Amino acid sequence: MIYSLIKLVGHRNLGFILGLVVVLNLAIGSLVMNFHTELYPPFFHFDLNYFFDPVRVEHSWLYALVITFSLYGINLSASIVESAVDLVQSQNQRLRRTAALLIHLAILLTMVAHLFDGFYGQTQQGVISDDEVTIPGIGLVTTQSVESIYHPDGSLKDTKVVLTIKRDNGENIEQTIAYNEPALFDNGEWEIIIQSGNREVSGFIIGNRSSGQEIRLIPKSAVQIRGGTLTLLNMLNTQMGPFAQISWKPNRGKRETKVIALNPTTGRHSSLTLGQTEFYFKELTYRPVATVMVRYNPAILLITFALLISAIGTILLKPTWWRREQS
Amino acid sequence: MFGRKREASFSLFALLITITLFFAARAYLKEFFPFTDKIESFATLSTLIVISALVYREQIANKEFTALLVLALASLSATLIFEDKLHYPTAYLRTIWYPLHVPLSFAAYALWFLAGIDAIYSTKQLKSTDPAVAERALITQLNRNGFIFFSFAMLFGGIWGYLAWGAYFMWDSKLLWSIILWLYYGNLLHIDALPRFRHWKVPLYALGMVLILITFIGTGFFTRSIHKF
């Protein structure tokens, strides 16, 4: 009785029609996504929550797809059970039946993995510099260095970013990431993926010619020197070049705001008198900055297993020239 | 013209050697293989169609062989539309998964195109009601081989996607249409075992060619896909 029901639900004719309906549904979805650019950014991650929060008429194709894929999945599950029983009972064409069974099972597992990743996966984007950044699920991350290489026409060839990661379990890791080479954690469930990397101006150095004293300034950070306290307020790019605004608070006296040109060729505009001492702009300082994407793929083990059995199933299908040689 | 098999095959081998030299020169200049622009992409498709035509030369009729060559020529002519400028590969293309993923999918397109043309010039085997005969038909063999190539192309593409963009699938028209093609031709693999749908075989294989054109050309030219070639 149950087996008859399974045979009915997993009927091949039904599966064939459902397969075509899914194809049609996906094609409609593709058209809708292409014409509603305000709703669907190009190349966006598979986030199913997006389609349900809020529910919209434009997403109808996806709601229909969930239904058609579910029916297809039910048909596929029943046909897998039927195929498995057939495989045990019959000795005919065992290799080919095994191939079909594995590929069907892989499709089913991929569908389940998509559902799981679609609802529970996460994508975050952020910037990691030499300051520690907390990434939930991974730990405290800092960028140690960034190095880029370029093609002869000046276009980017690759970027390598060295990250240090303090995991929540106390483990310290140094990991290099590059394009196509992410940092993987927890069996690949968590990933840090490079999007770009460069060196960013972090501040500058001023110096005194006679004493050789050098002071490193970074924004919002006060530096105590002889005669007062110096704070870099901000750095600006103007039509006349880059400038910095500095707050100078003498030990005795009122706070003053001073401006210095961040260009050593501008003569006295690139020098500052602080108390009795004259300082000049020496050089800019840089820090490594990486723009990264952090992905959480909770179903990665399931999808890896599906890929594996799908590959085995596909090899067992065997191309015709291989079959001919064997026969 | 193509009835003279030896001359036709010789001309095609000469074409293949020319295209190989073309690719070798560009690969040397870019220090990269396989391709980085539409010119090379169309040339590759043309090459794979020619290779498929040569591989199956003995099993297809002259009309089908001629149709394939016209198709290969059309694909090759399409290269003249674009500005010939050497494009260095973007950082994302510099991975082993790229040469594994793309040429395999192009090979599948070529085999499925051949299946479509074979369907249009349908043979006696296609009309047979015996599933065993239908199973041996060239069209079914072509689909199976195309499906194997495309399955591996999808597997490698999925791994590449996970490593480069953090996901084995993303909402992109080329990816969506690749899934459409894979499901469509996977579904067609079952048609010989379904007597009720066997008469759909020819129109469905012919429709398959339209789906390939949408996937290969349509998504690259008329959508916002990041897959531009």
pLDDT band at B1 (very low <50, low <70, confident <90, very high): very low
- List CB contacts (< 8 A) between B166 and chain A: 45, 123, 182, 191, 193, 293, 295, 297
Inspect the interface and report whether the beta carbons of A191 and B166 lie closer than 8 Å. yes
**Interface pTM (ipTM) of the complex?**
0.87
Residues of A in contact with B197 (CB under 8 A): 13, 16
On whether both A83 and A53 belong to a single domain, the answer is yes
Average pLDDT, chain A: 92
Q: How far is CA B26 from CA B21, B29, B36, in A?
A: 9, 5, 10
Model pLDDT for residues B46-103, shown as the tens digit of each residue: 998 999 888 888 888 888 888 888 999 999 999 899 888 888 999 999 999 999 999 8
Same domain? For A176 and A272 the reply is no
What was the pLDDT predicted at A49? 93
Whether A38 and A148 map to the same domain: the answer is no
Distance from CA of A303 to the nearest CA of B (A): 9
pLDDT at B135 over 70: no
List CB contacts (< 8 A) between B155 and chain A.
Answer: 307, 310-311, 314
Q: What percent of chain A has pLDDT over 90?
A: 76
Q: How far is B194 from chain A (nearest CA, A)?
A: 7
Q: pLDDT at position A65, please?
A: 96
Q: Based on the domain organization, do A22 and A86 belong to the same domain?
A: yes
Structural contact between residues B115 and B205, judged by C-beta atoms closer than 8 angstroms:
yes
Q: Give per-residue pLDDT as tens, A209-265.
A: 888 999 999 998 999 988 899 999 999 988 888 999 999 999 988 999 999 999 988
Give the pLDDT of residue B92.
94
Of A184-188, A221-225, A305-309, give the lowest mean pLDDT range: A221-225
Are A112 and A34 in the same domain?
yes
Mean pLDDT of B200-217: 93
* pLDDT range class, residue B2, cuts 50, 70, 90: very low
Alpha helices (runs of H) in B79-217, residue ranges in sequence order: 97-120, 124-127, 131-136, 138-165, 173-188, 201-213
Q: Which of A37, A46, A307 sits opposite B224 (nearest CB)?
A: A37
For residue B150, the chain A residue with the least C-alpha distance is A314
| Nearest of A293, A308, A311 to residue A121 by alpha carbon | A293
pLDDT of residue A238: 87
Residue of B nearest to A297 (CA): B167
Average pLDDT, chain B: 87
A&B contacts, CB < 8 Å: 141
pLDDT tens per residue, range B190-205: 998 999 998 899 899 9
Q: How many domains does chain A have?
A: 3
**CA distance linking residue A216 with residue A124, whole number of Å:** 33
Identify the band that residue A300 occupies on the pLDDT scale cut at 50, 70 and 90: very high
Q: Residue B41, Cβ neighbours under 10 Å: how many?
A: 23
CA distance B211 to B202: 15
Q: How many CB atoms lie within 10 A of CB B129?
A: 8
| Cβ–Cβ below 8 Å for A297 and B172 | no
| A13 vs B183, B194, B224: nearest CB | B194
Lowest mean pLDDT among A80-84, A138-142, B59-63, B156-160: B59-63
Low-confidence winner among A46-55, A133-142, A175-184, B2-11 (lowest mean pLDDT): B2-11
pLDDT tens for A80-107 read: 999 999 899 988 888 889 999 999 999 9
Which of A166-170, B146-150, B162-166 is the least confident region? A166-170
Q: Cβ of A19 and B180 within 8 Å?
A: no
Same domain, A141 and A175: yes
**Which residue of A46, A180, A319 is in closest CB contact with B171?**
A46
CA-based nearest residue to B52, from B118, B3, B7: B118
3-state class (DSSP) for residue A287? strand
Residue B159: which of A310, A23, A217, A28 has the closest Cα? A310
pLDDT greater than 90 at residue A51: yes
Annotated domain spans of chain B: 5-222
Q: Highest-confidence range of A307-311, B56-60, B116-120, B128-132, by mean pLDDT?
A: A307-311
- CA-based max dimension of chain A: 100
Smallest CA-to-CA distance from B178 within B128, B115, B124, B106 is with: B106
- In chain A, which among 264-283 make CB contacts under 8 A with chain B? none
CB A129 within 8 A of CB A146: no
Q: What is the mean pLDDT of residues B220-224?
A: 73
* B193 CA: distance to closest CA in chain A (Å): 9
Residue B229 pLDDT class (50, 70, 90 cuts):
low
Contact criterion met (CB < 8 Å) for A314 and B148: yes
Compute, in degrees rounded to 10, the torsion defined by CA atoms A152, A158, A162, A166. 160
What is the predicted pLDDT for the residue at B133? 59
Q: Give the structural domain span for A222.
A: 202-287
pLDDT of residue B84: 83
| pLDDT higher than threshold 70 for residue A326 | no
Q: What is the per-residue pLDDT for B126? A: 58
Compute the distance between CA of residue A217 and CA of residue A231 in angstroms, rounded to an integer: 8
The H-or-E segment that residue B52 falls in is helix B38-55
Report the percent of chain A where pLDDT is more than 70: 98
Q: What is the mean pLDDT of residues A268-277?
A: 87
- Between vectors from CA A263 to CA A260 and to CA A265, what angle results, nearest 5°? 115
What is the pLDDT at residue B4?
A: 61
List the structure tokens of B7.
Answer: 């001359």
